[in-house]
Amino acid sequence: MKPDVLVIVPLRPDQQKQLEATYTLHRYDLAEDKNAFLAEVGEKIVAVVTNGGRGITRAQLAFLPNLKIVSSSGVGYDAIDVEACNEQGVKATNTPDVLTDDVADMALALFLAVRRDLVRGDAYVRTGAWGRDGAFPLTRAIKAKKVGIVGLGRIGKAIAARLEPMGVEIAYHGRHEQAGVAYRYMADVVAMAEWADVLIAAMPGGAATEGMISEAVLEALGPEGSFINIARGSVVDEAALIACLKDGRLGSAGLDVFLNEPTPDTAFAAIPNVVLHPHNASGTVETRGAMSQLVLDNLAAYFAGKPLVTPVN
């Protein structure tokens, strides 16, 4: 008897084939009437495959009385209702580590794109503005600038490691000062924004960090400052971010994540001093394959009665 698995988001093709071979799949992702589908198959389901964006809600969990494990592709688990999982005795797993380098690379790409005006430079060549209007406006050097990282976890540290050889000064903010970390710790995020030229958000999403990058933080970063976000849209006051970018209280931003995905606030499209990316920092063939494999490995460990590879709760 193959265990019954609810697929909220499918895996990459290779791992999806393995999933299909090992389990009886119930394709929530393909169902037209989602609630009717859950009501129909819910009792059978022992495992869920999802991702960091979709997660699983308390309302969905209520349809799954026999659920044992939620295996999610993504390091962030703010979209998984872990409290409801705990109440139901459901284990959850995520996919840390395998995506760290790609996400840190994207933070660096946004950082460079924003600070050196890469996207507007591209348009300047394409549209012939270069020939018509002359040399492109000068930008600002990276070297000797101050970068504040909010959330010095695995990804934050990988971002810092990429920035170090560029000759920038690095500080970090988080819940606690970390032993054995050479970067300057700043307990107050507004003070760090005041000090920094660039602020990079790399903390987890969820209630604890909601709105942490407030209007006061963005104003402290200032007209010459840049905000980079590869964390979650929820960590920033997005209305304030839009307003600050528009009226120049904040210099520029590079964003991989938004409050409403995949249909972010349309105001962003009309703001020239922001570089936008469609939540794809972990979106490489290699990393998405590794994430899918880890989803499978966690399921396999569970059904073999072994310790989970990367448990959340």
Binding site for ligand 8YV (CB under 6 A): 51-53, 73-76, 99, 279, 282
- Tokens (6 digits) for 73: 């592709």
Catalytic residue, from 54, 115, 279, 288: name it: 279
Specify the residue, 95 or 252, whose C-beta has the smaller distance to ligand 8YV.
95
What DSSP assignment string belongs to 212-259? -B-HHHHHHH-TT-EEEE-S-GGGB-HHHHHHHHHHTSS-EEEES--S
Specify the residue, 14 or 40, whose C-beta has the smaller distance to ligand 8YV.
14
The pairing of beta strand 4-7 with beta strand 24-27: parallel
Q: Is 176 a catalytic residue?
A: no
Q: How far is CA 140 from the centre of its chain?
A: 27
Q: Is 140 a catalytic residue?
A: no
| Residue 239 beta carbon to ligand 8YV: minimum distance, rounded to whole angstroms | 22
Specify the residue, 98 or 170, whose C-beta has the smaller distance to ligand 8YV.
98
Between CA 64 and CA 23 the distance in angstroms is 17
* Cα–Cα nearest to 49, from 114, 4, 107: 4
Q: In what order do the strands lie in the sheet with 252-255?
A: 184-185, 169-173, 146-150, 198-201, 226-229, 252-255, 274-276
| Residue 73 beta carbon to ligand 8YV: minimum distance, rounded to whole angstroms | 5
| Residue 60 beta carbon to ligand 8YV: minimum distance, rounded to whole angstroms | 17
Q: Is 116 a catalytic residue?
A: no
Catalytic residue, from 173, 232, 277, 288: name it: 232
| Residue 6 beta carbon to ligand 8YV: minimum distance, rounded to whole angstroms | 17
Specify the residue, 76 or 251, whose C-beta has the smaller distance to ligand 8YV.
76
Strand-pair partners of 229: 201, 255
- Tokens (6 digits) for 56: 């699983």
| Catalytic annotation, residues | 232, 261, 279
